Structure 1
Amino acid sequence: MTTTRTTTRTIDGTRIARGIRARVAARVGEIAHGGRVPGLATVLVGDDPASAVYVAAKRRAVREAGMRDIHRHLPHSVTRAEVAAAIDALAADPDVSGILLQLPLPPHLDAPALIDRIPPEKDVDGLTTASAGRLARGERGLRPCTPSGVLRILDAESVELRGARVAMVGWGELVGRPLAQLLLRRGATVTVAHEFTADLAAVTRPADIVVVATGVRGLIGPEHVTPGATVIDVGIHRTAQGLAGDVRAAELDGIAGRITPVPGAVGPMTIAMLLVNTLRAAEWGAGREAVPM
């Protein structure tokens, strides 16, 4: 019996993100002629090397887009009250369109309580309780960047969501849960799998789209994917051989119809959507409807 081999397309998320960032920069340039330039405030607590790298990349993207780069670096020993005061000051600053509190925070700080000090209209990460509630109710608000980036990737690739069967592997509050809600609102039928799912392949094999955000390196392989399915890998892991994802991508060559590489897809899109959210927050704050990016 002859087995039909699928031609696998590697999705160029970097190219998609570059286009979004260019449109954001153009819109920021238009705003600069007649109003307040959007500004993103990043708050970094401590000296975690990975967090420092992530914040530096976000700040560089902000400057390249022509936005104000506002940064607060607090020591590891900072108290909860001191972090709260810094967030409150940024919340009251009219030059700050959005506030990003870099996670994870040192263990002695109460991350959820500090995140909830960010006003929802400046919550560019979409992580406050108010933002989550607006998402759940379908109200206007800022959505989490990574789930928004995944949707933009699917749209850029003309992947039909209405009626599609989606396996969302991972139910975290940063990606899995908000993305499942966004996909449902686009008309997809979503099944969420997690660490208690007894037969993971039984969930993922029927899916047209498999999104993986578990933090488990190499969890998904050929046994989990139907030929022609679109696979979005949100995971990222540092290994001796370089960066790897939650998907064994090489083993899916010739099986998946489309697949995102690690790195080069979801990461760049997350930063691009952070810029979109900052611009959107600035436009809403000025009483304007946000221009689609």
Structure 2
Amino acid sequence: MQDEKPDTKVLDDNNLVIVTTPEYVKDSIKEAIEEHAASRNHPYATQAEPGFVTLSNETDSDSEIIVATSKAVKKAYDLANTANQNTSNANNNANTRLAKDQNGADIPDKAEFVKNIGLAETTKRAGDIYLSAHPELNPGEYFANGDLVDLNSLEGQKLLKLSHEYRRTWGIMVSGSKINLPNLFHSDGRGFYLRADNTAGKVIEDRIRNIYGTIANVFTNAPNVYGDALSYSGSANVDVGHGFSQNWLRNVMFDASKAVPTGPENNPLTITMCPVIFLGV
């Protein structure tokens, strides 16, 4: 029986041409492809051409033909995330730090800060009202003249946090988006004297001790009515009998301003200071 795939015979006659079968060609090509695929005889991939790639766990390479592994990608992500978190922390830290050259002036709530470091009992507390000898107020002090401040400002919020009884006592009221500071001045502009009393904030109107008496139908010689504060009007000579006569004075007036300095209130020799309220912000 004839073999279906006889071996190719090589003839000695050089004039003959040997032709391979299609099956042989196909098998040879397949074998060559498989051999080539299994070899390293391939070009490396570029951004323009496909090819072999090399995997790497490095995160600091600038190569364009080496491919990062998932491990390298995660490492790079972790590094970036850490850097981002550090930046965020640094920004937050910078925003919440106090500037050295401000010497505490940038502390948002100075009264609370002083309280937190245990000095509350040796310092002023929010709402303290006192007289200041300084023309320039210290941080946290406000002129107690009834001025309006924004309700949402630091000083406005501090005023709002004072007790209801305190605000009622010192006339601190909310008006729309404003709230007023306490006012230590009378409606006519005069400043109040501060004095001890059982109740804070009580206004005692100005007054003097009562001085009273009666002067009527004065009979005297006009020259006997003298003094810078005294004057008279309506005099007449009246016969009082027995050959004597006297001057009758209709009115005798007393005006202290003709003799001494006067004003709308009684006060001793005075030097003024500024009334302030301490809020600590």
TM bin, normalised by shorter chain, reads under 0.3
TM score, norm. by length of structure 1: 0.20
TM score, norm. by length of structure 2: 0.20
Structure with a larger share of its residues in helix: 1
> Greater relative contact order (Cα 8 A, min sep 6): structure 1 or 2?
1
